[in-house]
């Protein structure tokens, strides 16, 4: 079928995927690909997951930047106080 996995090694990979934010379904899909030796497909899917996380990170960074700018403006006294 593929590789013979020792339980700790498989569990470590599984935990890494879960820690990286993969849901249980994707984690099982990735482990299945790994066990079947379909490394190229697995790597491509992991790269897509990474890209998704980076896009999410950038969206969240934009929100932080907006708050930083508001704090900066408030400190300078440049905000309209009339609400």
pLDDT of 78: 72
pTM score, whole prediction? 0.72
What is the pLDDT, as a whole number, of residue 19?
A: 96
- What would the two tokens of residue 48 be? 């897509």
Q: Could you tell me if residue 22 is inside a domain?
A: yes
How confident is the model over 24-75, as pLDDT tens digits?
999 999 999 999 999 999 999 999 999 999 999 999 999 999 999 999 999 9
Task: Give a yes or no: residue 81 inside a domain.
Answer: no
pLDDT at 34: 93
* Residue 2 included in any domain: no
Tokens found for residue 27 = 């984690």
Q: How confident is the model at residue 5 (pLDDT cuts 50, 70, 90)?
A: low
Q: What share of the chain is helix, strand, coil (3-state, %, to 5)?
A: 75, 0, 25
Q: Per the domain annotation, does 31 fall within a domain? A: yes
Owning domain of residue 70: 7-76
Q: Which residues of 49-76 are buried (b: 16+ CB within 10 A; e: fewer)?
A: beeeeeeeeeeeeeeeeeeeeeeeeeee
Number of domains into which the chain is organized: 1
Structural domain contains residue 52: yes
**Centroid of chain to Cα 12:** 17
């Amino acid at each position: 079928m593929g590789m013979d996995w020792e339980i700790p090694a498989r569990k470590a990979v599984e935990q890494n995927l879960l820690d990286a934010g993969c849901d249980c379904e994707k984690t099982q899909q990735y482990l299945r690909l790994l066990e079947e030796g379909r490394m190229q497909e697995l790597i491509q899917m992991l790269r897509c997951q990474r890209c998704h996380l980076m896009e999410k990170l950038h969206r969240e960074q934009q929100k932080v930047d907006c708050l930083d700018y508001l704090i900066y403006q408030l400190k300078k006294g440049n905000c309209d106080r009339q609400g």
